[in-house]
């Protein structure tokens, strides 16, 4: 089994940058047009719903028993949020992975924060969604802009498989009922973007989370 896996959530982005990435087992989840040329990596087609959150959750739930030591989750064009992504992936393989206990999570983007209503960026029912998923209340959420990060399988499994299946269900199918149901479906990926640190590290750690790549 590979120790490091790169999960790419693609729509119609050009993926030629993969030629610069060595040592990672690359899995492409394709939600757009068929790739113009054969890829040497695994390509899995998915319906175009739920943006990158749907992709990440799909991969986690389908591969729960065989998750590699470290997984990096990125968007089809990762450089918009992380200009030095290729260098960071190389650093993870050469510097972080050789350690017995590498960091549980390495951001591949800028860390920022919002309140439980999504501000100062935009209104999103983040606090309400978090209470549904975790039964925890929280009024401050730190997150990696763009929802790109490398994470250990240990951190992923700090939550149950059922937790991830519930999150996938929330953003996969429109449900009738409350306004939150509708907004969870429509804006689910934007909400999950702001919840990943809390999901993977726990709220206590996430609220004060900082990381230096140096």
Domain ranges, ordered by start, for the chain: 4-206
The per-residue pLDDT for range 119-170, each reduced to its tens digit, is: 999 999 999 999 999 999 999 999 999 999 999 999 999 999 999 999 998 8
- The domain made up of 4-206 has a fold known as Spore Coat Polysaccharide Biosynthesis Protein SpsA; Chain A (3.90.550)
Distances (CA, A) of 179 to 117, 125, 130: 14, 10, 15
Q: What percent of the chain has pLDDT over 90?
A: 72
Nearest by Cα to 204 from 148, 136, 114:
136
Q: Is the pLDDT of residue 184 over 90?
A: no
Taking a C-beta distance cutoff of 8 angstroms, is the pair 92, 73 a contact? Answer: no
CA 140, chain centre distance (Å): 19
The per-residue pLDDT for range 72-93, each reduced to its tens digit, is: 999 999 999 999 999 999 999 9
Tokens of 101: 């206990």
Pairing status of strand 70-75 against strand 149-152: antiparallel
């Amino acid at each position: 089994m590979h120790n490091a896996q790169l999960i790419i959530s693609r729509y119609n982005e050009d993926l030629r940058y993969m030629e610069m990435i060595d040592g990672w087992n690359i899995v492409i989840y394709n939600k757009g047009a068929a790739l113009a040329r054969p890829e040497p990596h695994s390509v899995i087609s998915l319906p175009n719903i739920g943006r990158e959150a749907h992709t990440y959750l799909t991969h986690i739930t389908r591969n729960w028993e065989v998750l590699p030591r470290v997984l990096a989750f990125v968007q089809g064009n990762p450089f918009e949020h992380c200009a030095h992504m290729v260098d960071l992936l190389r650093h993870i393989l050469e510097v972080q992975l050789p350690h017995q206990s590498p960091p549980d999570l390495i951001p591949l983007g800028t860390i920022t924060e919002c309140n439980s209503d999504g501000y100062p960026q935009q209104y999103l029912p983040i606090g309400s969604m978090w209470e549904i998923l975790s039964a925890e209340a929280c009024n401050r959420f730190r997150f990696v802009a763009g929802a790109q990060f490398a994470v250990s399988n240990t951190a992923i499994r700090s939550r149950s498989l059922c937790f991830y299946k519930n999150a996938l269900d929330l953003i996969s199918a429109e449900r009738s009922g409350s306004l939150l149901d509708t907004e969870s479906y429509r804006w689910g990926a934007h909400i999950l973007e702001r919840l990943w640190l809390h999901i993977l590290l726990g709220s206590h750690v996430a609220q004060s989370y900082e990381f230096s790549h140096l």
